[in-house]
Amino acid sequence: MTTAAPELLTVPEVMARLKYSRSKVYDLIRAKRLSSFKEGHCRRVPESALQDYIRERLEEAN
């Protein structure tokens, strides 16, 4: 049985999904509200981290 690797998103993909600017996405990363990691020059955001961020925002709104 193989497990699927988690989907990793680029900053532009996160920007498109959230409809946020580049600076807003990096602000979220710096504030540790959106988890990410850097490999060489590439910043990646796991899909699960994006879903967690959205879920937290929805909980804050209620």
pLDDT digit of tens for each residue in the chain (62 aa)? 666 777 999 999 999 999 999 999 999 999 999 999 999 999 999 999 999 999 999 999 98
* Residue 42 forms part of a structural domain: yes
Q: Which two tokens stand for residue 48?
A: 């699960």
CA 58 to chain centre: 15
Is 23 contained in some domain?
yes
Does residue 2 belong to any structural domain of this protein?
no
Count of domains observed in the chain: 1
Q: Nearest Cα to 52, choosing from 2, 3, 9?
A: 9
Please give the residue range of the domain that contains residue 22. Answer: 8-61
3: in domain: no
Give the pLDDT score at 62.
Answer: 85
Q: What is the pLDDT of residue 46?
A: 97
Residue 54 domain flag = yes
Structure tokens at 39: 């490999």
Question: Residue 1's pLDDT is what?
Answer: 60
Compute the distance between CA of residue 22 and CA of residue 7 in angstroms, rounded to an integer.
20
Residue at 1 is within a domain? no
Q: What is residue 20's predicted lDDT score, i.e. its pLDDT? A: 98
